[in-house]
Copies of this chain bind each other. A is one copy, B any other.
Amino acid sequence: MVKYEVELDAIFLALAHPARRAMLARLGRGEATVGELAAPLGISLPAVTKHLKVMERAKLISRGRNAQWRPCRLEEAPLEAAAGWIEEQRQVWEGRFDRLETYLGTLENEEGTKR
């Protein structure tokens, strides 16, 4: 549970920057080198490397072994974990609305019986 919490911290933090989200969107279409990730964003290679480190820490990306290119690859599992957490919350709040509806339904029925 604690591990899961720490992982979600890292994942959501990694998602909290437009350049990192743009890189993840690009990697969703397939592997890319650091240069290929940097080009459309118009940011320096060191800046890209910094963003990549944040995403690697969150395990959102992995890097190839090839020493020269080390292409980046999207890892889907952490994104699924983030979506899973939000989905859990949705079930809670939708459950609350369902209970409210049931309760309002009961009130209406009682009102009907009284008449």
A37 within 8 A of B: no
Q: Are B28 and A18 in contact (CB under 8 A)?
A: no
A28: B residues at CB distance < 8 A: 89, 92-93, 96
Interface size on A, residues (CB 8 A): 31
Q: Does A9 contact B (CB under 8 A)?
A: yes
Does B16 lie within 8 Å of A9, measured CB to CB? Answer: yes
Option from B11, B25, B74, B83 in Cβ contact (under 8 Å) with A87: B83
Q: Is the CB of B29 within 8 A of A96?
A: yes
Using a CB-CB cutoff of 8 Å, which residues 67-91 of chain A contact chain B? 74, 76, 79, 82-83, 85-90
Chain B residues near A24 (CB-CB < 8 A): 89
A13, A16, A79 — most chain B CB neighbours (10 Å) = A16
